[in-house]
Structure 1
Amino acid sequence: VQLDYAARPDLTASPDRAGLGRDGFVLGEERLQLKLEARSADGAWAALAKPELYHDAVAERGGTTLREGYLDAVRGAWDVRLGRQIITWGVGDLVFINDVFPKDYAAFFSGRPLEYLKRGVDAIDVNYQSDTLSAELVVVPAGLFTPDHLPPRERFSQFDPFPALPRTTDEPAARHSNTEAALRLHATWGETELAVYAYRGFWRAGAFAPDDPAAPTRAIRFFPRLGVLGASARRGGLGGVWSAEIGYYDSRDDPRGDNPAIENSQFRFLIAHQRQLATDFTASIEYYGEWMQDHAAYRRAVPTGFPASRELRDLVGVRLTKLLRYQTLKFSLFTFYSPAAHDFFANPEVSYQFSDRFSATLGGNIFGGPAQTFFGMLGHNDDAYLSARFSF
């Protein structure tokens, strides 16, 4: 059983309170998750399902969802998983280069547990393991595309280029050419873990455009085609662990970079280091960048009055974690700061494990920076959240 509540202290700053509950609650949710498992005696097959029943007190509605649900079949070096599953690739901490699978940013910025940042994807996942190489192929059949869940404008104050228009979504059509495929090859060379990645699919965050630029009646969210090639590495050094990751994003529906509604092609890169500074005290730092290609063409195409993205968007991320009371009490702080844009995000959090069955977390999300920056545009969405989890 999970209880999640988040409130926004600055009510007057929000231009639209229609999606907020009484007293400024942006999240008020009770959720029951069941975990059902079965496996054969010889380990040749297994099944798992995590159905959830929830009540959203802010929206005053409830429902059911399937968090995960899949069937595993194992034979020798091969492992096939079929169904809804959560897949994580890459080495970044809250930044994603070769992790091309769906995210739930609304859940994350509302203060729900970090595990809910990842959404399940309906896919076929084929794994092969050997002493020298492992390979993973993920195929999402056409018609089963899962987009990112973005912060809704009813509950989050943010820049909206089409504030008066209703929204519709145009997902990729269920035809063979829209099948998604992602491949990861992983090997260890000496003390270094290496991986290469490839993906053919769509921008999951999507893009927005009016149905008729001259006389718009609605804003359409659509999903341009995307190709990704990348690599990552991880090894020990300087008393901790170094990691690095790169990726090239090929924006296949905007090859010249002159469509401001669609993300340009870009290089993404990351370098990070994590180490233990003292007993039960760890720290990590990472530098992440997105280098937009064809930036001049993009700037020429941006409509007057719209915020323009920088050619280089960068972030410095820092995470500090301290454990106390036999590791039952945890203090953590995660921050992002952009040296180029001077905007920031901070997530302080304290959690306590009262017993094996009950834990609670108190934290907050803080945004700031110039009004035209990514985190600055979210500056009116600061919140404090409380979560409690009971297991039985």
Structure 2
Amino acid sequence: MFLLFKGDVFHDAVVNRADGDLREGYAGYHRGPIDFRLGRQILTWGVGDLFFINDVFPKDWESFFSGRPMEYLKRGLDAVRVQYSSEALNVDLVATPFFRPDALPSPKRFFLYNPFPGAASQQEMTPPARAENTEVALRLYRRVSGFDVSLYGYRGFWRTPGIRAGSEGSVSQITRFYPRLAVLGASAQRNWLQGVISLEAGRYNSLDDRRGADASIPNSEWRVLAGYQRQLGRELTANFQGYAEIMDRYDAYRKSLPAGTPLQDRVRGVLSLRLTQFLGYQSWKVSAFLAYSPTDDDYFTQPEVSHRLTDRLSVAMGANIFGGRRDTTFFGQMVKDDNIYLSARFDF
């Protein structure tokens, strides 16, 4: 039996607020092939680099786009987790009675596209903590013919909200809510051509709108990813990725859109490249992540330089840069949100 706690205390000068956050806090027990954990945990599944298909756990995009360390992209989840390991099959089962959404960029800190600028009243409805709303996620994995293969299943809710106007279509009052979701997927990874190839796919089933006729609920879709990482030189690596979201029932989606609402493409594709160079016996790290969507014609890049001064003290400097032709696309809506960040970190 063991206990782990990890928390943060901080002051946010932008909104002039002091706060704290319990990132992790759980009790764990290990016996033979079984691991058991109860409490707030950080969970990571899948093989993508900043593209999440079968990793259905909550993210903190505001922290990420503000320049906080990469680990803060993941939000802790209050869950029961049971893991079983064997040569034949490994099992990872997670049950979550308390829903936690993604933390999206806030208009208090970022310039964002607002589809309902005239809404005087906004409310958010999160799934209540009831037995029928318990989220369940399952991962089965093993090695097959040189591939690390995983199968995934999830039943719960979309982490980003749908938006519904008030009665009789009034936009003076809107409600943010989280529709039900089921996901089935798989991933595979192995060494190939002096590098590592990664493949992942997932089927997102929008359970509250299977016909795609409700514009306030995300349509069912496929998500696919292919990646390749290899070393280009001494301490220099490159990771290439191609990612796509393919919407189901696109005709029904188009017919359901209210007048004046921006139309999404059926396919959203993104290409990405991450370059990482270590220098000075790995005390210096120079990296750059670039994502470009040829379908949305927008982009995001994050260059960063970090230096480890001692075993416990490190510093970093980087930037988040956005671009796009339309303010309704994922990166395009944040063209006014370019920022530079500095950080110093002491581990103890």
- Please give the range of the TM-score, normalised by the shorter of the 2 chains: over 0.9
Aligned counterparts of 1:357 and 1:214: Cα–Cα separation in 2: 56
Pick from 83, 87, 108: which aligns with 1:127?
83
Change (3 A) 1:377 1:216: closer
Deviation at 1:128, TM superposition (A): 0.3
Determine if the alignment matches structure 1 residue 311 to structure 2 residue 266: yes
Find the residue that maps to 1:107 and give its secondary structure. Answer: helix
Residue number in structure 2 paired with 1:164: 118
Q: Following TM superposition, by how much is the alpha carbon of 1:154 offset from its aligned partner in structure 2, in angstroms?
A: 1.9
Partner of 1:277: 232
Unaligned runs of 5+ in 2: none
| Residues 253-282 of structure 1 deviation map (CA, whole Å, 9 limit, x = unaligned) | 111112111110000000100001111000
Offset, 1:132: 2.0
Partner residue of 1:289? 244
Distance (Å, rounded) in 1 between the aligned partners of 2:342 and 2:52: 26
In structure 2, do the counterparts of structure 1 residues 341 and 214 end up closer, same or farther at CA, with 3 Å as the change threshold?
A: closer
Quote how far apart the aligned CAs of 1:373 are.
Answer: 2.4
Q: Indicate yes or no: 2:22 matched with 1:66.
A: yes
Paired residue type of 1:286: Q
Aligned residue for 1:184, secondary structure, equals strand
CA contact (8 A) 2:291 2:300 kept: yes
Indicate conservation of the 8 Å contact 2:118/2:172, yes or no: no
Provide the rounded CA distance (Å) in 2 between the counterparts of 1:216 and 1:338. 31
What is the TM-score with the length of structure 1 in the denominator? 0.86
Map 1:209-220; keep pairs closer than 5 Å: 209-220=164-175
Counterpart check, 1:325 vs 2:302 = no
Aligned mates of 1:48, 1:128 — CA distance in 2: 20
**Paired position in structure 2 for 1:118:** 74
| Cα distance, 1:213 vs structure 2 | 4.0
Rounded Cα–Cα distance in structure 1 between residues aligned with 2:84 and 2:170 = 53
Instruction: State the Cα distance separating 1:346 from its structure 2 match.
Output: 0.6
Pick which of 219-228 and 163-172 moved more. Answer: 163-172
- Structure 1: 5+ residue runs without aligned partners? 1-44
Counterpart among 113, 138, 141 of residue 183 in structure 1: 138
Range with bigger deviation, 337-346 or 112-121: 337-346
2:139 maps to a residue whose letter is: R
User: Which segment is superposed worse, 161-170 or 177-186?
Assistant: 161-170
Deviation string for 1:304-348 (max 9, x for gaps)? 222111100010010000011111111101011112222111111
Supply the distance in 2 between the matched residues of 1:164 and 1:324 (Cα, whole angstroms): 52
Is 1:240 the counterpart of 2:199? The answer is no
Per-residue deviation at 1:217?
4.1
- For residues 169 and 240 of structure 2, the distance between their equivalents in structure 1, rounded to whole angstroms, comes to 47
Aligned residues: 346
Matched residues in 2 for 1:56 and 1:213: separation? 40
> Structure 1 residues 92 and 203, CA, compared in 2 at 3 Å: closer, same or farther?
same
Partner of 2:59: 103
What TM-score do you get using the length of structure 2 for normalisation? 0.97
Q: Percent identity?
A: 49
Residue 211 of structure 1 deviates from its aligned partner by: 2.8
